[in-house]
Amino acid sequence: MHYIIITHPVPVINESEIINNILDHNYATVHIRKPDYTIDELRNFLNTISVGNHSKIVIHNHFELIQEFSLKGIHFTRHNKHLITNSYPAYIFKSISTHSLNEINDLPNLFDYYFLSPIFKSTSKPGYGGDAFHLNDVKSYIEKHPLKKLVALSGVTQNTIKDAKNTGFYGAAILGDFWNFCNKNKNLDLIPLFFQQLNHAIQ
């Protein structure tokens, strides 16, 4: 199962070191989501990440930086869907946030994978998610559309990731559970443990 770590929208202590640790060991793809950053702030942030890891990073805004840093790709959200076009080179990875199966059907076939949320009860947004989808309906959709790679978002933890895998999700996007782990443990050497626990949970 493919893991995706999404950054906090605001700065986090040792954030660049944590991201480099993830990418140095190829534990996951990292999506940098900093909606309030100016282009210069995002550029400065990317400069704190090892050059060798830039090709493993997807950004959610300021797409003009994709070429400057030779990044992996770009992610579309409701804030920038007006920028969707097939003019981006094929080698640039493209993903998008969605909130219904019908929304996925209505999109052009430009995307390498689709975030679908909220799948489980969010760990970072109290009261959000948990009842938006019946997993059997999602599983049926995935079986009928094998070329569309869906990524579970919202509430993905060690306790829910096996349900995501059994539903047929290509991947899992993780935000709150990972950053809560880092905040609690403070030790970069424990980051491998987080992914080991995920791998154990889906066995």
* The two structure tokens encoding residue 116: 């679908």
> Mean pLDDT throughout 121-143?
81
What angle do the packed helices 191-201 and 176-185 form, to 10 degrees?
Answer: 140
DSSP string, 15-72: HHHHHHHHHHTT--EEEE--TT--HHHHHHHHTTS-GGGGGGEEESS-TTHHHHTT-S
Using one digit for the tens of pLDDT, what is the confidence trace for 72-99? Answer: 999 999 888 888 887 788 889 999 999 9
**Per-residue model confidence (pLDDT) at position 125:** 65
pTM of the complete model: 0.94
pLDDT reading at 131 higher than 80: no
C-beta atoms surrounding 16 within 10 Å: 15
22-26, 86-90, 152-156, 196-200: which has the minimum mean pLDDT?
A: 86-90
Domains of the chain: 2-201 (3.20.20.70)
Q: What are phi and psi of 19, to 5 degrees?
A: -60, -45
With a pLDDT cut of 70, the percent of the chain lying above it is 96
Element spanning 161, H or E: helix 161-167
Contact between 58 and 71 under an 8 Å Cβ cutoff? The reply is yes
Q: According to the model, what pLDDT value does residue 124 have?
A: 62
Mean pLDDT of 116-122: 91
Average pLDDT over residues 153-179: 97
Say yes or no to pLDDT of 172 above 90: yes
Q: What is the pLDDT of residue 76?
A: 96
Q: Look at residue 123 and tell me whether its pLDDT is greater than 70.
A: no
pLDDT digits (tens, 9 = 90+) for 9-20: 999 999 999 999
Identify the CA nearest to 34 among candidates 53, 50, 49: 49
Average pLDDT over residues 164-172: 98
DSSP state string for 89-132: -TTSEEEEEESSHHHHHHS-S--SEEEE---S--SSSTT--SSS
Q: Count the Cβ atoms, other than its own, within 10 Å of residue 139.
A: 14
Which band of pLDDT confidence, cut at 50, 70 and 90, is reported for residue 26? very high
Nearest to 86 by CA among 109, 113, 60, 61: 109
Predicted confidence (pLDDT) per residue in 42-53, tens digit: 999 999 999 999
